Structure 1
C-alpha cells in the first residue's frame, strides 16, 4: 500500500475551480495530487516497461484520473488506456469518457441496461427522421453528439423544422441525434455520484425565456437525495462505469416518472456548489475516494462509501 499516493489528474484547466477543491482535500488526506495536461505527458513504451514523463521527470503514478473531453478527448483516451495497460489504476477510463462524451453511446448503454431513458434516433437520412418523428409526435429535441453544457440543443416542433435541421448539417461528419421532448417544467436534476454512490442532487430551472435548464440565467436549488433519485442516478453511473459521474435526470410532470437524459463523465460542479453555499461535499468525497483508490484500487472499489452527502 502506498501511504502517499501520487494521483495524476489528466486534464486542462477548464475546470480549475473543481480541481483546486479536489487537490486541497487530497493533500489533507495524505495524497499527492498533480494535474498533467495531455500535451505535457510523454510516454515511453518498451517490451520491458511503460514509463511516464512530465518536463523530463519520470512519474511513479499510483492512480490516474481522466478529466478530458472535446478537443483533448482522443489524445487523453490513448494516454489513459496506455496507463491502464501498464497496470496503473484509472478512474474514468478511456471508454468511460468516450461513453460520456458521445450521446449515442450514452443512449445505447442506458437503454440496453433498462435504465429509464428515452428512445433516440441517430444518423443522417432525412426521410427516416421525418417518418420517425411523425410516428412519435412533436416536439422533439436534437443535440450535438459530442458537445456539453447544453450547447447546440434545439427544439423541433414540426416536419418542416426537422427537414430544415437535416439539411443544415455539415456534409462531412455531422449527424442528428434526436429524442422526444420531456414535459418537466423546464427543469432537470444533476445527480453527482462517486464510486457509483449518489452524493448530491441539484435541481436546475431554465430562465423564463428558455426551455433549456442550463441556459444563461438558470437557477439552482439543492434537492433531497430521495430513494428514487438515488436509485436512478446510481444505476446510470454504474451502467456507464463512471466512478465520477453527473447524471442528468428529469421528472416527467405528466407521469411523475424519472428519466435519465445523459451521464456526464467530467461533471463540473464547483460553481454550483459555491452558489448554493455549504461545503463542497461532492468534490471532497471524490478526493476521499481517489486517495483510497490510490492506496488500494480494488479495495476502494469494493468498500469505499461516502462519509457525507450534500
Structure 2
C-alpha cells in the first residue's frame, strides 16, 4: 500500500491531527523524523525504509525545521531525485527557513518588506547602524519560534551581541525595527488560498509576538488587500502551505515580515488541519 509520509522535526499536535485527518479520508499516512529513515543504495537501486519496511510513497510532506532541517533536507532532496513528489519541497523550505533568502525573494518580487541588511563582519556594524537607525532587530539566518530574535537600542548593545551571530563564520541579519501597534498578523494560506488570519499580541513590555513565547491571539478579519498579499507570497515562494506574517503600517496597508513554510496548522484554528488534509487528498488523487 502506498503511503503519504510526513517527514517532520517531531510528532507535534499538528502532525498527529493531520495524520488523523488523512486516515479519516482513507489515506494511509505515516510520520517519521529524518533519523528514523534508512536509505539503502546498491546495484538494485535506492530504497527508503522505515521500521525495517520499504516505503512505497505516493508523496511526502516536507515539515522539517530547526535541529532536523539539514538532515531532513537531504532526505527530501533524495525523494525529489527519485521522482517522489514532495509538497513544500527542498527549494520551498530552504527559501522559507532562511531569513536572508526570504527577504531577497520578497524584495525581488517587489513585495512590501522591512528594510534589511546582511553583513559579514564586525567592522560593518557602525555603518549598518547609521544606515538603518536604532532600534534594530537582530535575527539568526535560520531560526523559528522567535528564537534568538532580539531588539537592540544602541551601538554598544549591537557590538556586544553581534559576535554571537558572527560565530562559526555566519552572517548577521539586521532589520529596522518598525513601530508596530504591539501586534502583527499571521495569515494562513492553504493550497495558495488565504483561509484564516489572527492578530498576535506581545506580552506587556515584550517585543516578540510569537504564540510559542507567550503571545496572545485574536481572530482578524481577512481583507481583500490581506488576501491578495498573502496569496501572492504563497505563490512566489511556491509554498501551497504557508504562514504569511504581516505588519500594519497604515489603514489596511502592510509590509510582509516573512513567509513561514512550516507554519502551525492547528491551534488557534483547528479547521486549518482539515484544509491541509483536503489539499493533500487532492494531490494524492492527481498522482494516483
The reply to whether TM is greater than 0.5 is yes
Quick check: 1:294 aligned with 2:284? yes
**SS of alignment partner, residue 268 of structure 2:** helix
CA distance in structure 1 between the aligned counterparts of 2:195 and 2:43, rounded to whole angstroms: 42
Q: Deviations over 1:110-150 (max 9, x none)?
A: 11111111231112323323213213322111111112111
Quick check: 1:235 aligned with 2:225? no
Matched residue, 1:303: none
TM-superposed deviation, 1:256:
5.3
Matched residue, 2:158: 162
TM-superposed deviation, 1:5:
5.5
CA distance in structure 2 between the aligned counterparts of 1:203 and 1:48, rounded to whole angstroms: 53
CA distance in structure 1 between the aligned counterparts of 2:39 and 2:199, rounded to whole angstroms: 42
CA distance in structure 2 between the aligned counterparts of 1:13 and 1:105, rounded to whole angstroms: 25
* 8 Å Cα contact 2:9/2:66 also seen in 1: no
CA distance in structure 2 between the aligned counterparts of 1:80 and 1:169, rounded to whole angstroms: 28
* 8 Å Cα contact 2:118/2:172 also seen in 1: yes
Q: How does 1:1-310 map to 2 (within 5 A)?
A: 6-14=3-11, 16-45=12-41, 49-169=45-165, 171-214=167-210, 216-253=213-250, 257-273=253-269, 280-297=270-287
TM-superposed deviation, 1:265:
1.2
CA distance in structure 2 between the aligned counterparts of 1:46 and 1:123, rounded to whole angstroms: 44
TM-superposed deviation, 1:232:
1.3
Q: CA RMSD in A?
A: 2.1
**SS of alignment partner, residue 252 of structure 1:** strand
CA distance in structure 2 between the aligned counterparts of 1:217 and 1:81, rounded to whole angstroms: 35
Q: TM-score, normalised by structure 1?
A: 0.86
* 8 Å Cα contact 2:47/2:54 also seen in 1: yes
5+ unaligned residues in a row in structure 1: which ranges?
274-279, 300-310
User: Higher relative CO (CA 8 A, sep ≥ 6), structure 1 or 2?
Assistant: 1
TM-superposed deviation, 1:48:
6.0
**SS of alignment partner, residue 10 of structure 1:** strand
CA distance in structure 1 between the aligned counterparts of 2:214 and 2:7, rounded to whole angstroms: 31
Where is the strand percentage greater, Structure 1 or Structure 2?
Answer: 2
CA distance in structure 2 between the aligned counterparts of 1:51 and 1:5, rounded to whole angstroms: 14
Q: TM-score, normalised by structure 2?
A: 0.92
* 8 Å Cα contact 2:266/2:272 also seen in 1: no
Count of residues in Structure 1 that have an aligned counterpart in Structure 2: 287
